[in-house]
């Protein structure tokens, strides 16, 4: 059994300022990669640039990362990094900005690889420039995973790239959630929930790596009342939500995500559904199918969350993210693609059948 997360992770208030020394030690010239506006609005960009200025580290900001970052955006950011002669990349934002930063860090030191080739399996492991991750959503845990999920619109593909890119440093501060709308917090928290559930209901789950999702699910259970309530999330919970998301990232760093994530990518690509809900819609039916194979694990997940049964779990997710409608044609097309997605199906802790996959789609997506 092995547990591997080589990232230096700090979780605390004013983390960026408190760990200025660590942030400055990562490189000599930084490209900061962010989304369009949130990093500016929530103070995270300012916290980082103040530290860089005080430490006399030259930096440039690339703030054009869209949700579900594309190969074209990654190419453009890499060009900016090269022109600026950056030697490290700081991703500030949700999973989109951090994943884009990872892909830029890889391309930066591999000039022969084009952004459109990022999904191709390399002949040998590729190096990457160091990455610093400053998350501002409580969902992807990308600050603690080796994964970068990039979309190539030319071939209609949203998928993780086959490269291992752990950030060198992660600075996790819940205060950046203060600017987030309630539904963004809920959506991303559902992603973190899915990471932990898919990490346990997974052939790679073992006694050692379960320490992360089992502890994280307990913490998530402590936040669920606030997530379900009509009221804004109390700021006292920000750190717990962020921390849980990082732990959920450490969970999938060991096992990778499973079927619900595999199913989500088409829903995002073809219907524009945000990542958290796109995964969440499939979660309860996946749990139901896995209950046939590993009933004890499903019991454990429910009890850590403080839930009685799978119906309560399904109702909780419905209350958080509602339901999803699609066409019959799309649902059939998505199911057909999933039935040959061995990289996800092989992670199911049991013999999942074509009927099980159809069942998950029928249960999860309403035809309308
Ligand atoms: P996101 O796509 O990074 O961000 C969603 C939206 O939230 C953006 O409009 C962003 O605005 C805004 N935002 C971010 N932080 C905010 C804050 N503190 N306050 C207000 N608004 C804020 O969302 P995400 O769910 O975190 O990331 C999703 C991506 O991560 C997907 O591509 C998914 O596939 C991937 N993912 C990666 C991993 C991994 O291990 N690498 C795991 C799961 C998912 P701006 O554009 O202005 O920044
Ligand atoms: Fe996810």
Summarize pLDDT for 324-353 with one digit per residue, the tens. Answer: 999 999 999 999 999 999 999 999 999 999
Is 2 contained in some domain?
A: no
Give 236-239's long-range contacts (Cβ < 8 A, gap of 24+): 238/138, 238/174, 238/175, 238/177, 238/178, 239/11, 239/12, 239/13, 239/173, 239/174
Q: What is the structure's pLDDT at 7?
A: 98
Q: What is the structure's pLDDT at 361?
A: 98
User: pLDDT tens-digit profile of 113-166?
Assistant: 999 999 999 999 999 999 999 999 999 999 999 999 999 999 999 999 999 999
List, chain by chain if needed, residues with CB within 6 Å of any ligand 1 atom: 34-39, 42, 67-68, 93-97, 99, 136-137, 139-142, 145, 147-149, 176-177, 179-180, 184, 188, 191, 249, 275-276
- Please name which ligand lies nearest the alpha carbon of 137: 1
Q: What is the mean pLDDT of residues 189-206?
A: 98
Q: What gap in Å lies between CA 229 and CA 126, rounded to an integer?
A: 46
Decide if 102 contacts 132 (C-beta within 8 A).
no
Mean pLDDT of the chain: 98
Q: Considering 175, 206, 226, which residue would you say is the last residue of a domain?
A: 175
What is the dihedral sign for C-alpha 358, 347, 115, 39?
positive
Q: What is the structure's pLDDT at 257?
A: 98
Q: What is the structure's pLDDT at 97?
A: 98
Decide if 246 contacts 144 (C-beta within 8 A).
yes
Q: What is the structure's pLDDT at 362?
A: 98
102 and 212, same domain (yes or no): no
Confidence bin at 12 (pLDDT 50/70/90): very high
Q: How far is the CA of 201 from the centre of ligand 2 (A)?
A: 15
Instruction: List the CATH number of the domain containing 168.
Output: 3.40.50.1970
User: pLDDT tens-digit profile of 74-104?
Assistant: 999 999 999 999 999 999 999 999 999 999 9
Decide if 80 contacts 52 (C-beta within 8 A).
no
Q: What is the structure's pLDDT at 99?
A: 98
Q: What is the structure's pLDDT at 129?
A: 98
Mutate to test the pocket of ligand 1, among 38, 139, 193 (most ligand atoms within 8 A of CB): 38
Confidence bin at 213 (pLDDT 50/70/90): very high
**53 Rama class: left (phi>0) / alpha (psi -120 to 50) / beta:** alpha
Mutate to test the pocket of ligand 1, among 45, 63, 74, 94 (most ligand atoms within 8 A of CB): 94
357 and 240, same domain (yes or no): yes
| Residue whose CA lies nearest to ligand 1 atom number 39 | 142
Strands 8-11 and 30-35, by their bridges, are unpaired
**157 Rama class: left (phi>0) / alpha (psi -120 to 50) / beta:** beta
Q: Cα torsion for 112, 116, 118, 119, to the nearest 10°?
A: -140
Instruction: List the CATH number of the domain containing 209.
Output: 1.20.1090.10
Strands 30-35 and 169-172, by their bridges, are unpaired
Decide if 269 contacts 352 (C-beta within 8 A).
no
30 and 78, same domain (yes or no): yes
Is 22 contained in some domain?
A: yes
Tokens (6 digits) for 139: 């969902």
DSSP state of 232: P
Q: What is the structure's pLDDT at 220?
A: 98
Q: What percent of the chain has pLDDT over 90?
A: 99
Using alpha carbons, select from 87, 75, 76 the residue that is nearest to residue 31: 87
**Angle between helices 295-305 and 310-321 in degrees, nearest 10:** 50
Is 1 contained in some domain?
A: no
Q: What is the structure's pLDDT at 292?
A: 98
Q: What is the structure's pLDDT at 23?
A: 98
42 and 129, same domain (yes or no): yes
Tokens (6 digits) for 29: 């010239």
Q: What gap in Å lies between CA 252 and CA 270, rounded to an integer?
A: 25
Number of domains in the chain: 2
Q: What is the structure's pLDDT at 204?
A: 98
Q: What is the mean pLDDT of residues 204-214?
A: 98
Q: Which domain holds residue 60?
A: 8-175
User: pLDDT tens-digit profile of 273-328?
Assistant: 999 999 999 999 999 999 999 999 999 999 999 999 999 999 999 999 999 999 99
**14 Rama class: left (phi>0) / alpha (psi -120 to 50) / beta:** left
Q: What is the mean pLDDT of residues 178-187?
A: 97
What is the dihedral sign for C-alpha 294, 295, 300, 302?
positive
Q: How far is the CA of 12 from the centre of ligand 2 (A)?
A: 23
CB atoms within 10 A of CB 323: 12
């Amino acid at each position: 059994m092995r547990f591997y997360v080589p990232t230096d992770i700090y979780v605390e208030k004013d983390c960026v300022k408190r760990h200025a020394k660590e942030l400055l030690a990562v490189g000599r010239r930084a490209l900061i990669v962010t989304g369009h506006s949130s990093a500016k609005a929530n103070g995270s960009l300012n916290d980082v640039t103040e530290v860089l200025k005080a430490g006399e580290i030259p930096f440039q900001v690339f703030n054009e990362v869209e949700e579900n970052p594309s190969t074209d955006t990654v190419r453009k950011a890499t060009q900016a990094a090269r022109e600026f002669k950056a030697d490290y990349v700081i991703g500030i934002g949700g999973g989109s900005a951090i994943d884009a930063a990872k892909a830029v860090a890889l391309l930066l030191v591999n000039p022969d690889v084009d952004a459109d080739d990022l999904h191709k399996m390399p002949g040998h492991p590729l190096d990457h420039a160091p990455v610093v991750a400053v998350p501002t959503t409580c969902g992807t845990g990308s600050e603690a995973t080796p994964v970068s999920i990039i979309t190539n619109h030319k071939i209609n593909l949203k998928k993780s790239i086959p490269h291992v890119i752990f950030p060198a440093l992660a600075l996790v501060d819940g205060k950046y959630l203060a600017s987030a709308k309630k539904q963004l917090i809920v959506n991303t928290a559902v992603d973190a929930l899915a990471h932990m559930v898919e990490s346990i209901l997974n052939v790679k789950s073992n006694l050692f790596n379960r320490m992360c999702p089992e502890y994280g699910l307990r913490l998530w259970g402590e936040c669920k009342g606030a997530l379900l309530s009509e009221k804004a999330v109390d700021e006292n919970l920000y750190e717990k939500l962020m921390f849980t998301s990082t732990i959920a990232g450490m969970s999938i760093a060991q096992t990778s995500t499973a079927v619900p994530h595999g199913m989500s990518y088409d829903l995002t690509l073809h219907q524009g559904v945000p990542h958290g809900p796109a995964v969440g819609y499939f979660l309860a039916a996946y749990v139901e199918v896995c209950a046939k194979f590993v009933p004890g694990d499903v019991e454990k997940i429910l009890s850590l969350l403080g839930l009685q049964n799978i119906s309560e779990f399904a109702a909780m997710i419905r209350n958080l993210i509602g339901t999803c409608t699609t066409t019959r044609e799309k649902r059939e097309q998505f199911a057909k693609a999933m039935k040959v997605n061995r990289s996800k199906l092989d992670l199911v802790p049991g013999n999942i059948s074509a009927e099980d996959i159809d069942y998950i789609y029928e249960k999860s997506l309403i035809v309308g």
